[in-house]
Amino acid sequence: MKAFFILPTTMILAFLTIFLVTQQLQPYISEKLFYKEAEEQYKLNHLLENGLTLLKRDITSQSFSPQYTYRFQNGSVSYTATADEFSYSIEITVKSAHNKQYRAWAKLRKIDGVVMEWKEKHRSE
């Protein structure tokens, strides 16, 4: 009688142990995914700042082209620009090495590259 009782009890205890460990690990896994996503957003913002700095430099140095892509180690920043009398309307696309994307629209003064308007379009994968 005891031989038939040991195996089911062991199986139930093993199942409960695995279930409890899985339930305890779930918040840590979710938190890790959140931090990974936040880190990716920081990388996108850093790429955007680097690209915008180079774009402003190109505008003030007169080596500006209406379409260009800056390539960095962590991704790329590309822009398409249209000009009017006093400013450039620029659509900026930032792509990370992990295929995350950020798009923005900016209006920069031709003389000194100062941002006059800024609109974020969306972030996507």
Tokens in use for 74? 């962590």
pLDDT attached to residue 113: 83
How many domains, the chain? 1
Identify the CATH number of the domain in which residue 46 sits: 3.30.1300
Q: Where in the sequence is the domain holding 18, given as residue range(s)?
A: 2-124
Which positions ≥6 away from 112 have C-beta within 8 Å?
A: 59, 60
SS (H, E, C) 10-31: HHHHHHHHHHHHHHHHHHHHHH
pLDDT in tens, 64-91: 788 999 999 999 999 999 988 899 999 9
pLDDT attached to residue 110: 86
What is the pLDDT tens value at each position of the chain, 125 positions in all? 566 777 788 899 999 999 999 999 999 999 999 999 899 999 999 999 999 999 988 888 877 788 999 999 999 999 999 988 899 999 999 999 888 899 999 999 888 888 899 998 765 55
pLDDT attached to residue 125: 53
